[in-house]
Amino acid sequence: MDSHQQLAGRHALVTGGGRGIGAAIVRALLAQGARVTVLGRSLAALQQTVAQLQAQGQIQAVSADVTERAALEAAWVQAVNAFGAVDILINNAGQAVSAPFGKTDAALWQQMIAVNLNGTFHCTQLALPAMLQAGWGRIVNVASTAGLAGYGYVTAYCAAKHGVVGLTRALALEVASKGVTVNAVCPGYTETDIVHDAIANIVSKTGRSAEQARAELAARNPQKRLVQPDEVADAVVWLCLPGSSAMNGQALAVAGGEVM
């Protein structure tokens, strides 16, 4: 065993781990020696990620929609049967859709809550009992700066991500004396498909060029750039390490100083 692999023997489950920030987190966890289960809706896409990363460590894919409790429970059994109880849960699955508040219908509202907040709730309920029994666990919720501040035209997304941060803080207090920590990482605009979709949306609705739209998003960051997925992954994995056991109930902004 590599002495630098501080998570050797631990089973980490990452939702939405097939691409973007999730895939970066998976790579970082494998580098620390964890066995990693990647969970997402598209098994074919997940299996591509597994194929790319299997040389780096023990990795498997299970398919489920985080909004569907029964499907999640079945996937959980599959994951645990292969790699043992989940020691580290990374709630990364998320979705962002923009609309003015007046055009945010009930279906869009429910969709944002279901994916971003309910999915975090369901996965955490499935993971927590084994962590409490073991007396050790790490839960990291990938929220957003939209969980710490307001943004126009994404009220449903902001509400859901604020909910994730609230869940993080409340649960952290419940489990504080039981060897389990619960934290959130809140990225600013990050080089991912969600941001690429946002750029395309700005282009289609405003007529700006892709370069102008990208610069507009990057301008929110005092460093005048988009955050990179690996930067978010490094923060997530740090919270999982043994030396981070005093970090609990925190919402760390990875955003170049946009939110303080």
Active site residue 157: yes
Catalytic residue chosen out of the listed positions 151, 153, 157, 189: 157
Four-way CATH pick for 11-188+227-253: 3.40.50.720, 3.30.200.20, 3.40.50.10140, 3.40.50.620: 3.40.50.720
* The predicted structure's pLDDT at residue 255: 97
Task: Identify the burial level of 45 via C-beta atoms within 10 angstroms of its C-beta, where 0-12 means exposed, 13-18 middle and 19 or more buried.
Answer: middle
What does the domain layout of the chain look like in residue ranges? 11-188+227-253
How much is the pLDDT for 1? 46
**Alpha-helical runs (H) found in the chain:** 20-31, 43-53, 69-83, 106-112, 119-134, 155-175, 193-206, 210-218, 229-240
- How much is the pLDDT for 243? 96
pTM: 0.94
> Would you state the pLDDT for residue 73?
98
pLDDT at 67: 97
Distance between first and last Cα of the chain: 39
Q: What pLDDT does 161 receive?
A: 98
- How high is the mean pLDDT in each 10-residue block of the chain (260 residues)? 82 94 97 97 92 96 97 98 98 94 98 98 98 98 98 96 98 98 96 81 86 87 95 98 98 97
pLDDT for the residue numbered 3: 56
- The per-residue pLDDT for 89 is 98
Q: What is the pLDDT of residue 234?
A: 98
